[in-house]
Amino acid sequence: MKSANSKNKLKYNKVFVDSFSINEKQLKKDLKYNSITAWDSVGHMSMVALLEETFDIALEMDDIIDFSSYNMGIKILKKYKINI
């Protein structure tokens, strides 16, 4: 059986894959805001919206601003009791 953390990681990765039309390999290099065309201002908001829907949370404004990379997002989600 998969742990809650590993289920969360699958869901977290899927948010990025679906939002930016990328493959999971690209996430291993700590994908950053504006490092790919799809993660622009609109892509950022779409990704945040999907993340909120996926984990049923509402990110605070400061966290949306600080969410500047894949790894940073993992740290931020801990605040919302989502461990990845």
Binding site for another protein (CB under 8 A): 33-34, 41-42, 44-45, 48-49, 61, 64-68
**Judged by CB, which is closer to another protein: 3, or 62?**
62
Q: Cβ of residue 34: shortest distance to another protein, in angstroms?
A: 6
Q: Cβ of residue 1: shortest distance to another protein, in angstroms?
A: 36
Q: Are 41 and 1 in contact (CB under 8 A)?
A: no
Side-chain-side CA neighbours of residue 50 (13 Å): 16
Helix, strand, or coil (residue 31)? coil
Report the C-alpha gap between 47 and 77 in whole angstroms. Answer: 14
**Judged by CB, which is closer to another protein: 26, or 43?**
43
